[in-house]
C-alpha cells in the first residue's frame, strides 16, 4: 500500500533501481490488488453511505409523517406541570385497566381523588393513618393510551439518567393524535385547574438537594392569618405590604429598581415569626422555598446558585440568618455550646463556609431572582451586619416580642374556641358533655386497657400517664364564658415575660380543662420564672 501511494520513497536508500527491478513483478501485483481492494472498499463505503442516506430520509419522512398527525409534548420532572399531569393521570380510570401499575402511598398523589386501590376510599375519616392511602400510578416506561375529548392520546413515563451526577430523572411524554394543539391545551388547563383546586388549601414547602435543585418536601395546610396572634395591625401590615409589592412589577421596572423585597423578622424565640411567614404564604398563594444557611457544605457559589434557582414569585425563607456565620452556634452559644466544648477538645469542623459578602452578593447580585419575597428571621438582631439590614436587602424590619397580655388573652380564646366559632373538628365530634373537663390534671385513659380474659396470676395495674388523651374533648363553652376566662387568664400572665410558644405549650397541658388552665396559670408563671433564674445563675456561675 505504501509503495503504491508513495513510489518516491522506494529510491531513497540509494539502491533504488535494483530495488524497483527486483520488486517490479510482485509490486505491480500488489498494487493492482490494492487498487482493486480500494475500489471495492470505495464501493462498500458508497453503499453504506447510500444506506445511511436512505435511513436518514426515512427517519425524516417518518418524523414529518408523525409530526403531521401527532403532537408530542414532554413534561420534565423538575417542572410544576409534570405534577399537574401526573395527578391528572392518576385519576384516569384507564389505569385501572392497565396491566402494569405502580402502587403509591405518596400523599402527594393520594388524597387528591387519585385512583384508589378498591376499598381504600371507604376507610372513614381522614387522619394521619388514613391519609397514607394506596393509589395507582402509571408505571414507568409503559405507554398507556387514553381517549380524551374523543382524541386518542398516549402517555409514557420515561426514566433516564441525566446531569453530571447521572441522576435518574423522569419525563412524561404525551402524544396526541391531532392536527392542532387545542386538545393538548385543554388537557393541560384541566390538569392545572384540578391540581390548583387540590393545592388551594395547602402551602407547598421546598428545600434544596445537594445539587442546589429545589424539591418539594412538604405540603402544609394553610394556617389562618388570625391564628397567629400578634400586636394589632402587624399581620395586616405584612400581608398588605407583600400583596402590594407583588402587584407592582411595572412600577419597579419603570424605575429600574430590582423587583425584590426583603423582610427581617427578629426577636424572641417562639414568638410567631415562622408561623406568620407560612400564614402569609397561604394568603398570597405562594410556595415557600427554604434556604438553609447553616447547611453543611454551603459556600458562596452554592448559595448564589441556590438563590438563582428560586422561581419567580415565591417566598424564600432564611431562618436564623445570624447562625450562618458562626460555626455551630446555637440559640445562645454561651449556654448551649459551653457544655459541649470540653477543654482540649479539637475544634468542631466547619459546617458551612459562607461569607457575608457571599450572602450579600447572592441576595442582590445579578443572579438574584426577580419577584421573590425574602423573609429572614433572627433572634440576634443586633449581631447582624448593617449591610445585610439595609433597605434593598431587608426593606421591612418587624420586631416580635414575648407575649403581651393582649396576646395571651387572644391565644386563650382561640385555644378554647367557643361553640359557634369555626372549629369543625370539635363540632363534628360526639361530645359527652362537660364531665370530661372535670377530670384530674393527670388524665386517666377513658377506657381501661384490654385485658386478656384468662386466669392470669398477675395483677393488672391501670397505666398512669401525664397529659390528655386525644380522644378526650373539652366542654362546649359559650363565647361569653370563654371571653371571661381569657381575661382572667391574661391577668395572670405578666407582660413580655414568656413566649407565645411557651403559653401554647402550657395550654396544651390543659387541652380540655380551660377552668383549670386559668387556675394553674399563676403557679406556672412562677415556676417558669424560677427556672429562668436558675438557668441564669448556672450560666453566670459557670463563667
Q: Footprint of ligand ATP on this chain (CB under 6 A)?
A: 228-230, 269-275, 377, 379, 400, 411, 500-501, 504
- Can you spell out the DSSP letters for 138-149? EPTT-EEEEEET
254 phi and psi, to 5 degrees?
-60, -30
- The distance of closest approach from Cβ of residue 273 to ligand ATP in the complex, given in angstroms and rounded to an integer, is 4
For residue 130, the minimal CB distance to ligand ATP (Å) is: 24
CB 90 within 8 A of CB 138: yes
Question: Which residue's CB is nearer to ligand ATP, number 27 or number 418?
Answer: 418
User: In the complex with ligand ATP, which residue's Cβ is closer, 477 or 500?
Assistant: 500
| Residues 386 and 328: beta-carbon distance below 8 Å | no
Closer CB to ligand ATP, 120 or 337, in the complex? 337
Comparison of 248 and 274: residue with beta carbon closer to ligand ATP: 274
Rank residues 153 and 482 by Cβ distance to ligand ATP and give the closer one.
Answer: 482
Q: How far is the CB of 317 from ligand ATP (least distance, A)?
A: 10
Report whether 7 contacts 34 (CB < 8 A).
Answer: no
The secondary structure of 183-200 as a DSSP string is: HHHHHHHHHHHHHHHHHT
By beta carbon distance, the residue nearest ligand ATP is 272
Element (H, E) at 64: helix 16-69
Q: Which is nearer to ligand ATP, 388 or 411 (CB)?
A: 411
Tell me whether residue 399 or residue 438 sits nearer to ligand ATP (CB atom).
399
Rounded to a whole number of angstroms, the minimum distance from the CB of residue 508 to ligand ATP is 10
Cα–Cα dist 273/438, whole Å: 35
From CA 281, how far away is CA 373, in angstroms rounded? 10
Nearer to ligand ATP, 91 or 405 (CB): 405
Closest CA relative to residue 315, chosen from 236, 372, 378, 241: 372
CB of 400 to ligand ATP, least distance (A): 6
Q: How far is the CB of 436 from ligand ATP (least distance, A)?
A: 24
Residue 146's closest CA among 194, 213, 88, 200? Answer: 88
* C-alpha cell read off for 426: 370539635
Q: How far is the CB of 277 from ligand ATP (least distance, A)?
A: 8
- Closest of 505, 235, 488, 257 to residue 393, by C-alpha: 257
Which residue's CB is nearer to ligand ATP, number 273 or number 393?
273
CB distance 414 to 227 below 8 Å: yes
CB of 385 to ligand ATP, least distance (A): 19
**C-beta closer to ligand ATP: residue 191 or 323:** 323
Task: Give the residue among 90, 197, 171 at the shortest CA–CA distance from 134.
Answer: 90
Q: Which is nearer to ligand ATP, 137 or 295 (CB)?
A: 295
In the chain, what are the helix, strand and coil shares in percent, each to the nearest 5? 45, 15, 40
SS (H, E, C) 382-417: HHCCHHHHCCCCCCEEEEECCCCHHHHHHHHHHHCC
Burial 247-263 (b: 16+ CB within 10 A, else e): eeeeebeeeeeebbbbb
- Cα–Cα dist 102/100, whole Å: 7
CA 380 from centroid of its chain's CA atoms: 26
Give least dist CB 409 to ligand ATP, A.
12
Our CB check for ligand ATP shows the closer of 70 and 406 to be: 406
Answer yes or no: are the C-beta atoms of 469 and 445 closer than 8 Å.
yes
Which DSSP string corresponds to 247-273?
T-HHHHHHHT--S-EEEEEEESTTSSH
Q: How far is the CB of 492 from ligand ATP (least distance, A)?
A: 18
Q: Residue 116 carries which DSSP code?
A: B
Q: At its nearest, how many Å lie between ligand ATP and the CB of residue 507?
A: 10
Q: How far is the CB of 403 from ligand ATP (least distance, A)?
A: 7
Amino acid at each position: 500500500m505504501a509503495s503504491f501511494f508513495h513510489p518516491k520513497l522506494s529510491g531513497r536508500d540509494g539502491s533504488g533501481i535494483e530495488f524497483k527491478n527486483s520488486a517490479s513483478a510482485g509490486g505491480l501485483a500488489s498494487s493492482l490488488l490494492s487498487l482493486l481492494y480500494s475500489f471495492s472498499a470505495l464501493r462498500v463505503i458508497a453503499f453504506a453511505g447510500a444506506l445511511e442516506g436512505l435511513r436518514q430520509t426515512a427517519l425524516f419522512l417518518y418524523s414529518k409523517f408523525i409530526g403531521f398527525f401527532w403532537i408530542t409534548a414532554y413534561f420534565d420532572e423538575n417542572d410544576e406541570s409534570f405534577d399537574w399531569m401526573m395527578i391528572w393521570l392518576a385519576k384516569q380510570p384507564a389505569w385501572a385497566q392497565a396491566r402494569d401499575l405502580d402502587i403509591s402511598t405518596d400523599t402527594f398523589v393520594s388524597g387528591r381523588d387519585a385512583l384508589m386501590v378498591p376499598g381504600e376510599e371507604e376507610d372513614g375519616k381522614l387522619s394521619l393513618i388514613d391519609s397514607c392511602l394506596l393509589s395507582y400510578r402509571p408505571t414507568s416506561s409503559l405507554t398507556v393510551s387514553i381517549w380524551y375529548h374523543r382524541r386518542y392520546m398516549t402517555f409514557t413515563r420515561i426514566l433516564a439518567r441525566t446531569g453530571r451526577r447521572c441522576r435518574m430523572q423522569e419525563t412524561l411524554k404525551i402524544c396526541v393524535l391531532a392536527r392542532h394543539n387545542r386538545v393538548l391545551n385543554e388537557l393541560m388547563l384541566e390538569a392545572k385547574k384540578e391540581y390548583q383546586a387540590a393545592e388551594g388549601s395547602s402551602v407547598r414547602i421546598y428545600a434544596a438537594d445537594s445539587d442546589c435543585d429545589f424539591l418539594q418536601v412538604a405540603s402544609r395546610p394553610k394556617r389562618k392569618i388570625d391564628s397567629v396572634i400578634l400586636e394589632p395591625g402587624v399581620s395586616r401590615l405584612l400581608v398588605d405590604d407583600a400583596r402590594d409589592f407583588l402587584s407592582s412589577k411595572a412600577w419597579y421596572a419603570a424605575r429600574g429598581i430590582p423587583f425584590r423585597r426583603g423582610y427581617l423578622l427578629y426577636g424572641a424565640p417562639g414568638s410567631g415569626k415562622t408561623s406568620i411567614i407560612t400564614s402569609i404564604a397561604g394568603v398570597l398563594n405562594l410556595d415557600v422555598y427554604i434556604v438553609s444557611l447553616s447547611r453543611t457544605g454551603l459556600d458562596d457559589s452554592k448559595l448564589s446558585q441556590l438563590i438563582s434557582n428560586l422561581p419567580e414569585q415565591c417566598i424564600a425563607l432564611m431562618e436564623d440568618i445570624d447562625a450562618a456565620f458562626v460555626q455551630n452556634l446555637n440559640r445562645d452559644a454561651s449556654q448551649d455550646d459551653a457544655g459541649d466544648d470540653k477543654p482540649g477538645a479539637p475544634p468542631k469542623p466547619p459546617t458551612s463556609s459562607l461569607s457575608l459578602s457571599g450572602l450579600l452578593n447572592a441576595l442582590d447580585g445579578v443572579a438574584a431572582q426577580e419577584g421573590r419575597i425574602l423573609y429572614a428571621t433572627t433572634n440576634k438582631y443586633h449581631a447582624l451586619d448593617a449591610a445585610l439590614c439595609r433597605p434593598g436587602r431587608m426593606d421591612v424590619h418587624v420586631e416580635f416580642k414575648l407575649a403581651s397580655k393582649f396576646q395571651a388573652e387572644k391565644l386563650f380564646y382561640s385555644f378554647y374556641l367557643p361553640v359557634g366559632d369555626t372549629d369543625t373538628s370539635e363540632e363534628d365530634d360526639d361530645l359527652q358533655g362537660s364531665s370530661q373537663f372535670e377530670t384530674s390534671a393527670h388524665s386517666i385513659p377513658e377506657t381501661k386497657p384490654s385485658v386478656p380474659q384468662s386466669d392470669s396470676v398477675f395483677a393488672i395495674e391501670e397505666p398512669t400517664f401525664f397529659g390528655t388523651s386525644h380522644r378526650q374533648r373539652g366542654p362546649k363553652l359559650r363565647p361569653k364564658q370563654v371571653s371571661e376566662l381569657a381575661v382572667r387568664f391574661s391577668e395572670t400572665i405578666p407582660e413580655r415575660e414568656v413566649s407565645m410558644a411557651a403559653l401554647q405549650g402550657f395550654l396544651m397541658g390543659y387541652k380540655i380543662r380551660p377552668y383549670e388552665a386559668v387556675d394553674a396559670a399563676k403557679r406556672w408563671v412562677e415556676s417558669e420564672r424560677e427556672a429562668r433564674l436558675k438557668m441564669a445563675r448556672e450560666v453566670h456561675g459557670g463563667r
